[in-house]
Structure 1
């Protein structure tokens, strides 16, 4: 059975993310118009993340390497890898995680 989730009325998570479609082994969420910040603490998660930048600019800091992200770019963060993001201008991105993010 197909499941449809509209981003217009999807639930918002504790960190401002919009919860989109979710399956047994994969989930998708959107970060919409995240404001500029450079104080997000580094974290590692038990899931792999792939993302796509819809608009804005950010930097992904992963294993001591800084990767610039802008509209049209995509990225991967392997499971268990410590990383953080610096949002440089209002940032909208879609991420998919496997297994689903909590």
Structure 2
């Protein structure tokens, strides 16, 4: 049996894109995002599936050419390999989980089509 992880906000590591890495297991990892308003970034694809929940703020998710506006309490799924991009309409705080864990093997590094 694995030893449970407890990660305090103060102990969370910060990634190159500003994400705070939270608990990470063998099959899933969790991270926290806090970002000010911004325009759409470049469309990109990831080698992992992402589910997220918006804690506060407003964002637009362009997923494979279709755009949805999300507010606090809304959640989303970005399938592995799906082209997507975000626009932060109003500063956001969001929690995301990735499977397999995005933190390993530099999976949070930019991939093709991402600046």
Q: Per the shorter chain, which TM-score range?
A: over 0.9
- Provide the residue aligned with 2:30 in structure 1: 28
Task: Confirm whether residue 86 of structure 1 aligns to residue 84 of structure 2.
Answer: no
The structure whose residues are more often helix, as a share, is: 2
**For residues 96 and 59 of structure 1, what CA distance do their matches in structure 2 show?**
18
Q: Aligned to 1:8, what secondary structure does the other structure show?
A: helix
Match of 1:49 in 2: 50
What's the counterpart of residue 20 of structure 2? 18
**In terms of Rg, which structure is larger?**
2
What residue in structure 2 maps to residue 97 of structure 1? Answer: 98
| TM-score, length basis structure 1 | 0.95
Q: Mark the runs of 5 or more structure 2 residues left unpaired by the alignment.
A: 108-115
Alignment of 1:68-83 (within 5 A): 68-83=69-84
The corresponding residue for 2:38 is 37
* CA–CA distance in structure 2, aligned partners of residues 76 and 39 of structure 1: 18
Using structure 2 for the length normalisation, give the TM-score.
0.85
How many angstroms does 1:7 deviate by?
1.9
TM-aligned CA deviation for residue 42 of structure 1 = 1.0
Match of 2:7 in 1: 5
Structure 1: 4+ residue segments shifted above 6 A: none
Normalized per residue, the structure richer in strand is 1
